[in-house]
Structure 1
């Protein structure tokens, strides 16, 4: 089960230095989104954002900004870091949809039930060559 506090994410979007003014324009756009907090960063080309994984993902926000013509910082370190975040957030969102495993608390009943579904004396499951040896 995912801790609700793990769903709150605080990230920094780092933009390319050219074209100038991207961080300010992105801050204006992001500030208008529901359930997302955006504020200026101490870095000149960055915006700090805070969101809940039930509402947004970093990959989705970045994709939307890129569709609007924004260019993110593509340095190797930032690119790798963002890909790790994308993977972790995607996995967390996927895990939120999965219920507890059915064998977690009732292992014996599940496996006894499966065994009862198969007739161990029925030769139909055996290859024809082995059926005559019954």
Structure 2
């Protein structure tokens, strides 16, 4: 039985979670020192994107971005910046944080678009599937073979 069929038989809804459930992200983009002036250029470029808030970060070479995980991901933003010629910080710490954030956001996006899991109504799926099955509940085994003597 396909997963979608099981969800329909159990009567599950496929609604997205409510706002404020961790979909709004607040991330820091770190740049290299060279070339000079790239942080200001990146600030102007990112501020033109709809649904993305950008401001200067704590450090001299950092920007802070706020976005919904349904609209953007840190990976897509950083990839767009790299393709535009910006040099992002590539220290070991930045690589580790970046990999963790990429994985978490990808997993969250995947979970948001997939339907709810069947946790408490899974037995109803099998009951309804059995009722809809063509053979019904007839057992063709002779009665004398069904009983253990």
TM-score in terms of structure 1 length = 0.79
Whole-Å separation in 1 of the counterparts to 2:123 and 2:58: 57
TM-score in terms of structure 2 length = 0.72
Unaligned runs of at least 5 residues, structure 2: 1-15, 141-149
How many residues are aligned here?
A: 121
Match of 1:132 in 2: none
Q: Give yes or no for the alignment of 1:70 onto 2:86.
A: yes
What aligned pairs does 1:1-134 form with structure 2 within 5 A after superposition? 2=17, 4-5=19-20, 6-101=22-117, 103-114=118-129, 117=133
What are the Cα deviations for residues 16-58 of structure 1, in whole angstroms up to 9, with x where unaligned? 1111111111001011111111111221111111111111110
Kindly state the Cα deviation for residue 115 of structure 1 after the two structures are TM-superposed: 5.1
Kindly state the Cα deviation for residue 111 of structure 1 after the two structures are TM-superposed: 2.3
SS class of match (1:59): helix
Whole-Å separation in 2 of the counterparts to 1:93 and 1:112: 32
Kindly state the Cα deviation for residue 113 of structure 1 after the two structures are TM-superposed: 4.0
Whole-Å separation in 2 of the counterparts to 1:41 and 1:106: 48
SS class of match (1:10): strand
Larger relative contact order (C-alpha < 8 A, sep ≥ 6)?
2
Kindly state the Cα deviation for residue 114 of structure 1 after the two structures are TM-superposed: 4.7
The two structures, once aligned, show a CA RMSD in angstroms of: 2.1
